[in-house]
Amino acid sequence: MLRAVLTHPTPAELLAFLREHVHAGGVTLHLAGELEVVYAGRAASMAEAGDRFVIVKADGSLQVHGPRGVKPVNWQPRTDFLQADLEDGCVLLHAERRSPAEVVRVRVLSCALVSALTLTDDALFLLQGTEAQMQEALARHPEVIEPGLTVLDRELLVGVGGLDLYARDAQGRYVIVELKRGKAGHEAVHQLSRYVGAVRPQVPGVVRGILAAPDITTPALRALEAAGLEFRRIEALPQVQEEALQPLLFQ
Amino acid sequence: MLRAVLTHPTPAELLAFLREHVHAGGVTLHLAGELEVVYAGRAASMAEAGDRFVIVKADGSLQVHGPRGVKPVNWQPRTDFLQADLEDGCVLLHAERRSPAEVVRVRVLSCALVSALTLTDDALFLLQGTEAQMQEALARHPEVIEPGLTVLDRELLVGVGGLDLYARDAQGRYVIVELKRGKAGHEAVHQLSRYVGAVRPQVPGVVRGILAAPDITTPALRALEAAGLEFRRIEALPQVQEEALQPLLFQ
DNA sequence: TCATAGATATCGATT
DNA sequence: AATCGATGTCTATGA
């Protein structure tokens, strides 16, 4: 897994190290030191310098981190071109991307540590508690939303975007359900409103719209009610939690 | 800047290393190896294992990276509690956060490389090309949007949310301008539509809504026209670029 | 603290 | 390639 590591290399040593490892298959590079970074792309440009570290992964993604926070100070999700050079006695990392056109240039003023790792590809991976799981749970147990509700379809496409749940209530009225796994805001109300407006002309009778979420912002609730739509608080999904937790036990 | 580095430490050596450096001031840790990660918090929980590396920064932020992508596979933006222990002969990193309650546990099955760096705090930093700059530019030169336009206000609050620009056209009609620095989509149309709807009842006469952006998606343009709103393509902001560059010189 | 909106958002699915 | 929707989005800002 560990291919090589150097502490306090000279620019020439660093350049040789980078050239040896940067384009080798499956290699992740980690370089810490005093760096100058320039980014230009999309609509913004940026310049920045200080104690930083750079990570270059095998897929060509590059990120420059500062002393704080999860978010990199500069990054490039995918590079079409990646090269290391000497310029004015300093190593220069140059990463380019087309479509959108972007450049990140990292000048290494001094390097304290550089390492090359071989990370084998992904391992098993589980995620639960997503909106997809919430949708699955409520499709199976629509009575949590409202007694007498029958689910007709999930992810039904209407114009642009898809309805989370398309159902019929006890009185036979069509019901459109929009799900949010977190607190619902304006955009959820507009989404639901848009779907209801798209379905109404296509079916006879009343079309109800229900926003189902664990919580809703106060202004969003006002907007929802003003639009004649409904909110259902989803407190818990007991069946789902048990089912979903099972895989964890067999880890 | 480089405090310490170890290759292939035993669990006991690794534990001692972590305990020595993890709570020292201004230290960033980098640990690569075979890791098992469990996250639980908010609405989701997740389990995941494989060749990974962990970065713990001085602010307590923790991120676990896999072989691909800029985004970490697991992370914790801020930790209230961070601790390293031995469990079943493996080092276990335990990071907790209250409000929201979240836990990330990293079990180190094997460690190839661990390092401790001291990154001094931030350096100079420049950014340009933001929406705020675009707003400033168009407020000064509203003729780019439309000849005869007079800007009345910027960031005017109406109910919830704020108008980017509030203006009057050559015929004296009120105009609401929504800006996007990139390609405008649905959400920009909904935002503008919401603002226009909020302002209309409060002023006499016609209220126009203009979405000003370098580009717009086809569905968004259809929605915009259906709502009786307008699109203005903003190709370039020549005056702004010069002005915006000035502060750079004095940084 | 809550609510809103921007972001070089990233990422995956689907057309 | 373009577009849309979700994200453990994160982060800044204002009420």
pLDDT given for residue A128 in this prediction: 74
Within 8 A of B186 by CB-CB distance, chain A residues are 160
- Asked if residue A59 has pLDDT above 80, the reply is yes
pLDDT given for residue A248 in this prediction: 29
pLDDT given for residue B246 in this prediction: 34
The length of chain A is 251
Domain edge (last residue) among B70, B85, B118: B118
Greater confidence (A247 vs A117) lies with A117
B123: nearest CA partner in chain A: A50
Same domain (yes/no): A140, A221: yes
Same domain (yes/no): A230, A141: yes
Residue A184, domain member (yes or no): yes
Residues A169-204: pLDDT tens digits? 999 999 999 998 888 998 899 889 988 988 898 899
* Beta carbons of A160 and B186 less than 8 Å apart: yes
- Asked if residue A232 has pLDDT above 90, the reply is yes
| Domain encompassing residue B184 | 131-249
pLDDT given for residue B251 in this prediction: 25
- Asked if residue B48 has pLDDT above 80, the reply is no
Between CA A172 and CA A181, with CA A178 as vertex, the angle to 5 degrees is 135
Residue A251, domain member (yes or no): no
CA-to-C1' span, A39 to C8 (A): 9
Mean pLDDT of the region B10-39: 92
- Asked if residue A225 has pLDDT above 90, the reply is yes
Q: How far is CA B36 from CA B31, B48, B65, B73, B199, in A?
A: 13, 6, 12, 11, 54
Residue A125, domain member (yes or no): no
Same domain (yes/no): A97, A144: no
Q: Which A residues 52-81 have CB within 7 Å of strand D?
A: 69-71
pLDDT given for residue A159 in this prediction: 57
What is the C-alpha separation between A28 and B113, in angstroms, rounded? 13
Same domain (yes/no): B75, B48: yes
Residue B123, domain member (yes or no): no
- Asked if residue A93 has pLDDT above 50, the reply is yes
What is the C-alpha separation between B211 and B176, in angstroms, rounded? 8
Strands laid side by side in the A207-213 sheet: A150-157, A162-168, A174-179, A207-213, A230-233
pLDDT given for residue B40 in this prediction: 85
The length of chain B is 251
Do strands B81-87 and B230-233 pair parallel, antiparallel, or not at all (unpaired)? Answer: unpaired
Q: Domain of A217: which CATH number? A: 3.40.1350.10
Domain edge (last residue) among B118, B143, B172: B118
Number of domains in chain A: 2
Q: How confident is the model at residue B145 (pLDDT cuts 50, 70, 90)?
A: very high
- Asked if residue A244 has pLDDT above 70, the reply is no
* Beta carbons of B34 and A115 less than 8 Å apart: no
Which of A12, A30, A53, A36 shows the shortest CA–CA distance to A108? A36
Same domain (yes/no): B111, B136: no
Q: Using the CA of B41, which nucleotide's C1' is the nearest one?
A: D8
Tokens of A197: 């407006």
Question: Which residues partner with B104 through β-bridges?
Answer: B39, B95
Which residue in A70, A126, A187, A242 has the most chain B C-beta atoms within 10 A of its own C-beta, making it the best mutation to test that interface?
A: A70
pLDDT given for residue B240 in this prediction: 45
Do strands B174-179 and B150-157 pair parallel, antiparallel, or not at all (unpaired)? Answer: unpaired
Do strands A207-213 and A174-179 pair parallel, antiparallel, or not at all (unpaired)? Answer: parallel
CA-to-C1' span, A195 to C2 (A): 28
Same domain (yes/no): B196, B238: yes
Domain edge (last residue) among A85, A118, A151: A118
- Asked if residue A162 has pLDDT above 70, the reply is no
H helices, E strands: number in chain A? 5, 16
CA-to-C1' span, B131 to C12 (A): 27
- Asked if residue A94 has pLDDT above 80, the reply is yes
Tokens of A155: 């992810």
Within 8 A of A122 by CB-CB distance, chain B residues are 50, 66-68
* Phi and psi, residue A198, nearest 5°: -75, -35
Greater confidence (B190 vs B246) lies with B190
Greater confidence (B122 vs B28) lies with B28
Same domain (yes/no): A6, A113: yes
User: For residue B246, what are the contacts with CB-CB under 8 A and spacing of at least 6?
Assistant: none
Same domain (yes/no): B146, B220: yes
Between CA A235 and CA A245, with CA A241 as vertex, the angle to 5 degrees is 155
Greater confidence (B126 vs B86) lies with B86
* Beta carbons of B124 and A57 less than 8 Å apart: no
Residues A23-33: pLDDT tens digits? 888 899 999 99
Q: Domain of B56: which CATH number? A: 2.70.180.20
Mean pLDDT of chain A: 85
pLDDT given for residue A176 in this prediction: 93
Residue A123, domain member (yes or no): no
Residues A126-142: pLDDT tens digits? 777 788 888 888 888 89
Contact B32, A117 (CB under 8 A): yes
Same domain (yes/no): A146, A114: no
Within 8 A of A48 by CB-CB distance, chain B residues are 123-126
Same domain (yes/no): A145, A194: yes
pLDDT given for residue A26 in this prediction: 85
Q: Using the CA of A45, which nucleotide's C1' is the nearest one?
A: C8
Residues B176-188: pLDDT tens digits? 999 998 889 988 9
Same domain (yes/no): B56, B136: no
Residue B227, domain member (yes or no): yes
Same domain (yes/no): B144, B176: yes
Decide: CB of B79 under 7 A of nucleic strand D: no
What is the C-alpha separation between B31 and B9, in angstroms, rounded? 11
* Beta carbons of A67 and B58 less than 8 Å apart: yes
Residue A179, domain member (yes or no): yes
Which residue spans within B19-142 are E strands per DSSP? 27-41, 44-56, 62-65, 74-76, 81-87, 90-97, 102-118, 125-128
Residue B124, domain member (yes or no): no
Q: In terms of C-beta density within 10 A (0-12 exposed, 13-18 middle, 19 or more buried), how is residue B171 classed?
A: exposed
